[in-house]
Structure 1
């Protein structure tokens, strides 16, 4: 099942493409001009904010900034007090993930929950290594999130919608479905955290993020579809990265050469994203992969070819394992009436 199913480019869609590509490119540019670390935050956060939420307003901005502030405090406290106590740290991480998935399943503060999950996953990944400057990482997260909000407001002003959008329909879920979705997401995300900690997979950021993003549907059928789309998006994004590496060759430190290529790659991914109309589909996976590659790995002395090939392999393994875990959890939770999933 491929989501690019004859959806024409609407009047608002082109403007959303321009908003996504421009905001992410500006974030990347500012990060490089000031020589800040964690370029992945500055490049990917605008994609998350402008890509997942087509209508930007004060409520959206408050959720995104609040998530950044709260997540930074949580990661700082957990990494500072419990890093030497793996079991306690895992239980605390489980509780944090549980709150986020419950908010998402109930439909309350969905953006807060989704952005928090991605942010927590990335920061826990970085914080687990002794070479990480925790203060620098947490500061970069807050600055990047705040900048993403400012850039989202700017591109919304520059490329406003030309016609009003219909609000998404409200979905009423019974209590047993909310419990099912919350537990599946929380347990799978916590197991992902544990595996990446135990196996010491320092260069597998894309794989860990992918294992979180495909959990957003929070039920087995949705996770299978999301995994398929995510795999295709990763492959396309890595292909874009290879093309950029071949075009730039030894000139990847020339910002003026990198920026137009990044904007074009993001624009192609955004074009796919807005026509899929499925949220986190192939286009969204392509954009986030491009953001991670450019923001974290595109350096003069970095072999992007190796990073691409390793990323494809690690992500595919991560997706297969995550889908398997979700399938087992789905069967177990459906054995109890209080956590049984019933989808029409």
Structure 2
């Protein structure tokens, strides 16, 4: 027991965490390389999905793989139904989106297949936002999402085979013991804020603010106001670090940014740095995970053969901080409102 405590309090990585670090970096790199070489659209899915699959959980097995893939299929079906029946009617679209988000947060609050519903939230919110624009191909988006999910699962399986665990897998966290009132509170809180985020990004036509949109969804994963507040602080720090790393890469490479091999090496090294911080924190979605996903978004979505990420980094940083500040204010208001009623009161502040 004392040895485990020393490892958990140390800034050094255990042998198991070192292997996990390599899996995260290699998995993200494989998705990045494939999407760039094949010139596939929506590169953010190919870089971020491996980070979610290999970074959120310390283990990988058949159940996790099935949840991840099935969640993608559910997202595509949800997107098709929402686009097919509700897109021409903004009010009905917002109401239907709220219902879909509520289903996701309900099962997350109950702890039933948390990974499937949580990862689905990120994919669904992103696809809903991009899919609302007339020049966006829903078929291309759905294909990219499904392909990125399959590649992430295959790369995770291959990496766990190439870099296996030599110790027993980490014990799964105990399922949450929330009351019916807390489940209702967390479902309504998450669904309300996620829908509000979707509506605001639509009304203000914030098509280039992908990092901010993803951030407003990720910070809702703790399902409580206090948890979201701490997550927002960590996320803002992580985005700052991720953008700083992106700017450093841009400055160091200068006019070599068009050399794909160098870009891949730069991506691999920055992912290693952010993933190490994520593992050292041992705090789930902390500052390191925020930096990790920010790097994935910057390189996957905005790194072009004849472009750079300097402007994107600065814009992402300002938009994320502003969006998170607004979200937390709204979260506090919704949290206080729900606590006024006994049927939706959350005792965990």
Q: Would you say same fold, with TM above 0.5?
A: yes
The correspondence of residues 3-42 of structure 1 with structure 2, limited to 5 A, is 6-42=10-46
- Partners of 1:81 and 1:116 in 2: CA distance: 20
TM-score, length-normalised on structure 2? 0.95
Q: 1:227 aligns with which of 232, 246, 260?
A: 232
- Partners of 1:93 and 1:303 in 2: CA distance: 34
Q: 1:217 aligns with which of 182, 205, 222?
A: 222
- Partners of 1:252 and 1:102 in 2: CA distance: 44
- The reply on whether 1:141 has 2:145 as its aligned counterpart is yes
- The reply on whether 1:56 has 2:60 as its aligned counterpart is yes
| Residue aligned with 1:12, SS | helix
- The reply on whether 1:268 has 2:273 as its aligned counterpart is yes
Tell me the alpha carbon deviations over residues 220-258 of structure 1, each in whole angstroms, 9 at most, x when there is no partner: 110110000000100100011111111222333322111
Q: Offset at 1:80?
A: 3.1
Higher relative contact order (CA 8 A, sep 6+): 1
- The reply on whether 1:163 has 2:181 as its aligned counterpart is no
Asked if the contact 1:102–1:182 (Cα under 8 Å) also holds between the matched residues in 2, the reply is yes
Q: Offset at 1:166?
A: 2.1
Q: 1:328 aligns with which of 329, 333, 342?
A: 333
Asked if the contact 1:251–1:300 (Cα under 8 Å) also holds between the matched residues in 2, the reply is no
TM-score, length-normalised on structure 1? 0.96
- Partners of 1:43 and 1:242 in 2: CA distance: 18
| Residue aligned with 1:30, SS | helix
| Residue aligned with 2:256, SS | coil
Residue matched to 1:296: 301
- Partners of 1:290 and 1:5 in 2: CA distance: 26
Q: Offset at 1:5?
A: 6.8
Farther off after superposition, 76-85 or 13-22: 76-85
Residue matched to 1:309: 314
Tell me the alpha carbon deviations over residues 283-341 of structure 1, each in whole angstroms, 9 at most, x when there is no partner: 11111000000001011443421111111110011100110111001111111111111
- Partners of 1:99 and 1:93 in 2: CA distance: 10
- Partners of 2:189 and 2:312 in 1: CA distance: 31
Q: Offset at 1:6?
A: 4.6
Residue segments in structure 2 that go unaligned for 5+ positions in a row: 1-7
- Partners of 2:129 and 2:306 in 1: CA distance: 23
The correspondence of residues 236-275 of structure 1 with structure 2, limited to 5 A, is 236-275=241-280
Residue matched to 1:180: 185
Cα RMSD between the aligned structures? 1.4
| Residue aligned with 1:43, SS | helix
- Partners of 2:178 and 2:341 in 1: CA distance: 17
